[in-house]
Amino acid sequence: MTEKARLNAILDREWTLLIGGRARPAASGRTQEDESPVTGEVIATVPDGDAEDVDVAVQAALPAAAAWRAVPARERGAVVAGLAGILARHADELALLDAIDGGHPVTGMHADIDIAVDTLRLFGGLAIELAGRTIPATAENLHLTVREPFGVVGRIIPFNHPVMFAAAKIAAPLVAGNAVILKPPEVAPLSALRLGELFAGALPEGLLSIVAGGPGAGRAIARHPAIRRIGFIGSDATGRAIQRAAAEVCVKDVTLELGGKNALIAMADADPEQVAESAVAGMNFVKSAGQSCGSTSRLLLHESIADDVIQRTAAHMEAIRVGSPLEPGTEMGTLATRAQYDKTMRYLAIGRDEGAGLVTGGGRPAGLESAPGLYVAPTLFRDVDSGGRLAREEVFGPVLSAMTWKTEEEAVRLANAVDFGLTAAVWTPDINRAFRVAGALEAGFVWINGSARHFTGVPFGGVKLSGIGREESLDELLSYTQLKTLNVMLG
Ligand code: NAD
């Protein structure tokens, strides 16, 4: 079958929400048109869920959660680990959906699915770690804690890793004994809706609902009084709106995985070629076109190696294969939405206006000038004004800003001089220096002589405007439980 025929086969269908274990249209009957950033064409008509759908999902989730928490933890873990096999078996279809719907390269989406498979298995296996502890507070009594689920959890996710987030982010709350209501991004909802169909038969009815829709559906999750725990991934503005909305209704436990303007610091003694390769990997041009919260979008170079590193970085960036995300050989596809494309273009203009030197990129890629897709060339600016907007604001696109410094103190000051604090990287063979600098950085996730990679089981999350909470680890699993303390009076 040709690629086009395969695409037609997976797109030629009706799309439904998954609510209470059943496929349904939105209660309001409303739909929204889903446009591909690759072709510019409408590829699907998707139910536009809202507060009513969220409420129906919650009403189904409450009894499902009550029954699910009574299932032994390791059995819950086995069910969730079992989802990994379903996901892996449908990887081709799901990766293709994300490619056409989100503009992400199909090969990269396969890698994302591998990560989600690994994550489902990780959390499935961690079920036995849902343990409390005993506290020797008195000699005569027994004081112990047990971990209980919240009940119904809301999960709201962004567009940059659609199927990976949809699959991986339901794992911890489910294993912890909760029901989950997942709201996929309105600009790339298809893979999550398909996943809902695939997972429905493997989970008790009502335990998982997928409510596609716009911000209204997200707001309804934030405001629903029976949803006491929300895990959000997206922008800081939306994260704060969710905190505000939730607080108006009741007291909720809200964790936030937000944006970043992350620094990669290269010391004078770092190897310029390794730094250049790491700078390019750290930007996540490949797979995400830079649309990644953890991207090290500020390259802070000691002045003695700056010219060399910049030259090498530009050469690697120019070698990235940009093109149709549907082609297996493509490394970088389109931006995910027209808004994201326009925003990136605005920042290219801001960089020029602020006096930064354009080293490579700066517009549409050569050969794709008039293609319908939302393509932007990997772009490197140097001598970026550290006080300017390009240096401080998250672009969430393929734009890397290089700056230089003279002293270690200056490097740390520059790195910390933004409102965000998600990731950071330090390059130096001097391990004492590496630890000293890493210790001084305001970031939740730091690489020493590395960048870009996440490691399943290792906590990921930010400080400052980058959020609260840690995911991808035991910390995430435990965050979907609340402690109950029991005091057994034996005296
Ligand atoms: P966004 O905040 O616009 O949207 C994210 C989700 O929130 C979408 O599903 C959206 O429909 C929903 N939403 C929008 N308004 C809402 C509201 N008022 N109440 C409830 N839900 C609402 O973010 P985006 O543009 O889709 O994603 C890009 C952002 O996500 C970037 O800032 C990026 O850094 C961040 N991000 C962070 C991580 C991380 O792990 N820290 C990972 C990926 C992306």
Sign of CA dihedral 100, 346, 261, 379: positive
Task: Render pLDDT for 107-159 as a digit per residue (tens, 0 to 9).
Answer: 999 999 999 999 999 999 999 999 999 999 999 999 999 999 999 999 999 99
What separation in Å is there between the alpha carbon of 233 and the centre of ligand 1?
A: 5
Share of the chain above pLDDT 90, in %: 99
Q: Tokens standing for 213?
A: 């829709």
pLDDT of residue 287 exceeding 80: yes
pLDDT recorded at residue 301: 99
Which residue in the list 186, 293, 331, 471 is annotated as catalytic?
293
Q: Which residue, judged by its Cα, is nearest atom 16 of ligand 1?
A: 215
What separation in Å is there between the alpha carbon of 335 and the centre of ligand 1?
A: 15
Task: Render pLDDT for 260-283 as a digit per residue (tens, 0 to 9).
Answer: 999 999 999 999 999 999 999 999
Which residue in the list 257, 354, 442, 471 is annotated as catalytic?
257
What separation in Å is there between the alpha carbon of 263 and the centre of ligand 1?
A: 21
pLDDT of residue 354 exceeding 80: yes
pLDDT recorded at residue 2: 76
pLDDT of residue 1 exceeding 90: no
Which among 238, 256, 262 is the best mutation to test ligand 1's pocket, defined by most ligand atoms within 8 Å of the CB?
238
pLDDT of residue 491 exceeding 90: no
Q: Which residue, judged by its Cα, is nearest atom 21 of ligand 1?
A: 218
- Mean model confidence pLDDT for the chain: 98
What separation in Å is there between the alpha carbon of 370 and the centre of ligand 1?
A: 30
Task: Render pLDDT for 53-83 as a digit per residue (tens, 0 to 9).
Answer: 999 999 999 999 999 999 999 999 999 999 9
pLDDT band at 192 (very low <50, low <70, confident <90, very high): very high
> What global pTM score does this model have?
0.98
Please state the rounded mean pLDDT for residues 214-222.
Answer: 98
Q: Which atom of ligand 1 is nearest to the CA of 293?
A: 34
Q: Which residue, judged by its Cα, is nearest atom 28 of ligand 1?
A: 234
Share of the chain above pLDDT 70, in %: 100
Classify residue 131 by burial, with Cβ atoms within 10 Å: 0-12, 13-18, 19+.
Answer: exposed
Q: Which residue, judged by its Cα, is nearest atom 23 of ligand 1?
A: 234
Is 250 one of the annotated active-site residues of the chain?
Answer: no
Q: Which residue, judged by its Cα, is nearest atom 34 of ligand 1?
A: 259
Please state the rounded mean pLDDT for residues 310-317.
Answer: 98
Residue 435's CB is within 10 A of a number of other CB atoms, namely 13
Write out residues with Cβ below 6 Å of ligand 1. 156-160, 183, 185-186, 214-215, 218-219, 222, 233-235, 238, 241-242, 257-260, 293, 394, 396, 422, 462, 467
What separation in Å is there between the alpha carbon of 416 and the centre of ligand 1?
A: 23
pLDDT of residue 3 exceeding 80: no
Please state the rounded mean pLDDT for residues 411-417.
Answer: 98
Which among 165, 233, 262 is the best mutation to test ligand 1's pocket, defined by most ligand atoms within 8 Å of the CB?
233
pLDDT of residue 168 exceeding 80: yes
pLDDT band at 40 (very low <50, low <70, confident <90, very high): very high
pLDDT of residue 290 exceeding 90: yes
pLDDT recorded at residue 77: 98
pLDDT band at 389 (very low <50, low <70, confident <90, very high): very high
Please state the rounded mean pLDDT for residues 190-198.
Answer: 98
pLDDT recorded at residue 4: 79
Is 293 one of the annotated active-site residues of the chain?
Answer: yes
pLDDT recorded at residue 314: 99
C-alpha 379/C-alpha 283 separation (Å) is 10
What separation in Å is there between the alpha carbon of 184 and the centre of ligand 1?
A: 10
